[in-house]
Amino acid sequence: MRALERVEGRDKVTGRARYAYEYPVEGAVYASAVQATVGRGTIAAVDAEAALAIPGVLAVVSCENAPRLRQAADAELAVFQSREVSYRGQLVAAVVAETLDTARDAARFVRIEYAPAAEGPDVRLHPGHPGIYKPDKVNPTFPADSVKGDPEEALPASAVQVEATYTTPAEHNNAMEPHATLAVWEEDGGLTLYDSNQGSSTVRDTLAEIFGLEPERVRVVSPHVGGGFGSKGTPRPNVVLAAMAAGVVGRPVKFAFTRQQMFSATGYRPPSIQRVRLGADGTGRLTTVVHEALSQTSMIREFVEQTATPTRMMYQAPNRRTAHRVTRLNVPTPSWMRAPGETPGMYALESAMDELAYAAGIDPVELRIRNEPETDPESGLPFSSRNLVACLREGAERFGWGDRDPRPAVRREGRKLYGTGVASSTYPAYRSPNQAYVRADADGRFTVRIAAADIGTGARTTLTLIAAETLKVEPERVAVELGDSSLPRASLAGGSSGTAGWGSAVVRACEALLPKLDAGLPAEATADTTDEVKAQEKYARHAYGAQFAEVEVDVDTGEVRVPRMLGVFAAGRIINPTTARSQFIGGMTMGLGMALMEQTVMDEEFGDYLNHDLAQYHVPACADVRDIEAFWVDERDAHLNPMGSKGIGEIGIVGAAAAVANAVHHATGLRVRDLPITPAKIL
């Protein structure tokens, strides 16, 4: 297929592409949020008088006067419905004013009186926390635990054993565009939302439920979205707040979280504490794999990161166990962040595999190849396709792994120690039911309609290519309309499932259109893949990859730099090489941030995250990213969807942090088992 640059690229760089907050709706006013300043307590009283006295202020909305919502399955969306404060930073009021400046200024004058709880907020995740419990399931619907064979018996009997605890911090998604909504109540009682999200159909359904409207009465418009990384996968409180405020003042309302507010209001990757135990025979074949993960959720909603699930199918071993535990804390509810589960889980597993390689005296690439399973080791299902070994071999070749001296801390040039590391990557290949519409016009042009979301990934461009290929026309003749809930219903841009799900519906609609073209134009066709997705054969469906990294460690400052990262992925058929490469190297860059920089630090006395802006929450800048390359092996998976593709949005981050951490060990001889690897942990 042709490599195509983003079809909306020109609109984006010229500023013509409109984002939620930018729609010029007449009479729009502005909301600003007030956050709780206690970590645990009850709102005793709200004094809005001083704020209301400021010229231009239209309303102060809080638990004292907020309209009652019909229902909110996600308690984080029950905005201003309760006096309970369960974490610091929780939304407690909003000011609506004629201008944004007035709203923000007045928000400082809303006085909230709290009755603090007898004890301070309970915010520290630790293995001895009395509230730790086994959840019924982990995200999205996996069992909390799994067991095969007898790991407790097999482990001590294994020739080589590794036991280690790895910890990862809270991390925040930080999309460039904040979560923003412009809410307009129409004269007929309908609700229009210009909103930044990863799925307009989902936002429509959720908001319809919350405000007790028929879904057809809610329209969500989101043609351009400036990133999400999972944090816009489900609606956040901004949508509810804007719609509620617009109802209160009888005017359209614009609301966006500030960067600082995003750290408590829009979700984050929960911290994890993971214990991994591996046993192997003298040849490096695994006898035992045990992976136990602990994470946190909030007081108001259970969210359990599926941290150990990739371990269930990565490597062959007769004795195996995974377990997830969680505890409720006075913290914001965690949410989806790029490859939730796989990202922290594979950091731990792939670090432990590196430790095992050293303990067994086997090359880390070879160790992984030796433990390649023929079928899914826990479910017994065949793999739809699995080319991890090909990725490891091609990656080793391209990276120059063969020349590596495995001894740690032996490559030194001046103040710098050098080392290299490898890790496997994986992500599930999901597909959801979708609907699509396509029309052929007499001018030779085709229009595709689907409520898909392009959050910066290039989805619009990829769907253009998929439609053009099926219709056997040049992509220039195809226009894709997406990002609007009034278009045929679509699944989320989430779980790396977008292209598979939307693309299937687009292919089927185009296939249905082709025979109609001879009967005269215009012609149109629709498709619904619900039955097709339901009828899928049973396979273990995953994408795989191999991550390689080189590090340079300054022995005086402890600073780690990454001169080189190289990934090779087996992710089905690559539909658009141009945007696919961006997804892979973007994920790898985020993995670099996870390895060395990203962490949000909880204030253990008062609650809430202390570092809540991009000056203090560090992500890689251009100077941190030197040579990153992504390649892919030729793979076409006939069991997944008509394109033969797998998702690529998340796999690039998975394993990247372990590759860097393993390289740090190779360079220095130090095992840092606590991310991020900051200079203090090296010195």
Site residues, ligand MOS (CB under 6 A): 198, 230, 233, 336-338, 340, 494-495, 650
The alpha helices in 250-327, defined as continuous H runs, are: 259-265
State both tokens at 197.
Answer: 């999200």
- Closest to ligand MOS by CB, 252 vs 494, is 494
Task: Return the number of the residue (35 or 198) whose C-beta is nearest ligand MOS.
Answer: 198
Write down the least CB distance from residue 346 to ligand MOS, Å. Answer: 14
Compute the distance between CA of residue 628 and CA of residue 479 in angstroms, rounded to an integer. 33
Would you state the structure tokens that stand for residue 216, as one six-digit string? 């057809």
302: amino acid identity, one letter: E
Q: Provide the minimum distance between the beta carbon of 42 and ligand MOS in the complex, in angstroms, as a whole number.
A: 34
Give the torsion through C-alpha atoms of 335, 341, 346, 348, to 10 deg.
70
Q: Which of 452, 425, 416 is nearest to 436 (CA)?
A: 452
Residues 6+ apart with CB under 8 A from 497: 430, 431, 432, 491, 647
CB of 294 to ligand MOS, least distance (A): 20
* Shorter beta-carbon distance to ligand MOS: residue 304 or 337: 337
Taking each helix axis from N to C end, the angle separating 459-471 and 498-513, rounded to the nearest 10 degrees, works out to: 30
Q: Are 51 and 93 in contact (CB under 8 A)?
A: no
Sequence-ordered list of residues with C-beta below 8 angstroms from that of 459, at least 6 positions apart, any chain: 452, 453, 482, 493, 498, 499, 502
Q: Cβ of residue 129: shortest distance to ligand MOS, in angstroms?
A: 26
Q: Are 183 and 28 in contact (CB under 8 A)?
A: no
| Residue closer to ligand MOS (CB basis): 234 or 420 | 234
Query: Whole-number minimum distance, CB 37 to ligand MOS, in Å?
Result: 30
DSSP code string of 426-493: EEE------EEEEEE-TTS-EEEE-----SSS-HHHHHHHHHHHHHTS-GGGEEEE-SBTTSSP---S
Task: Say how far residue 650 (Cα) sits from the centre of its chain.
Answer: 7
Q: Are 112 and 93 in contact (CB under 8 A)?
A: yes
CB of 379 to ligand MOS, least distance (A): 22
Say whether 650 is catalytic: yes
Residue number with CB closer to ligand MOS (343 or 599):
343
Strand partners for 560: 553
User: What are 658's two structure tokens?
Assistant: 């372990």
Residue 464's CB is within 10 A of a number of other CB atoms, namely 24
In single-letter form, the type of residue at position 240 comes to: V
Per the CB < 8 A criterion, the answer to whether 98 and 56 are in contact is yes
Map residue 2 onto helix, strand or coil: coil
102 with 35: CB under 8 angstroms?
no
Residue closer to ligand MOS, measured from CB, 41 or 587: 587
Is 225 or 667 the residue whose CB approaches ligand MOS more closely? 225
What single DSSP character describes residue 569? E
Minimum distance from residue 494 beta carbon to ligand MOS (Å): 4
Sign of CA pseudo-dihedral 242, 243, 244, 246: positive
Q: Which residues contact 678 (CB under 8 A, 6 or more apart)?
A: 558, 596, 597
Question: Active site residue: 292, 598, 635, 650, which one?
Answer: 650
CB of 306 to ligand MOS, least distance (A): 11
**126, two tokens:** 């630790």
Largest CA distance in the chain: 78
Nearest residue by C-beta to ligand MOS?
230
Min dist CB 337 to ligand MOS, Å, is 6
Neighbours of 387 (CB within 10 A): 24
Is 576 in contact with 3 (CB distance < 8 Å)?
Answer: yes
Q: How far is the CB of 466 from ligand MOS (least distance, A)?
A: 20
Q: Where are the alpha helices (DSSP H) in 319-378?
A: 342-360, 364-370
Active site residues: 650
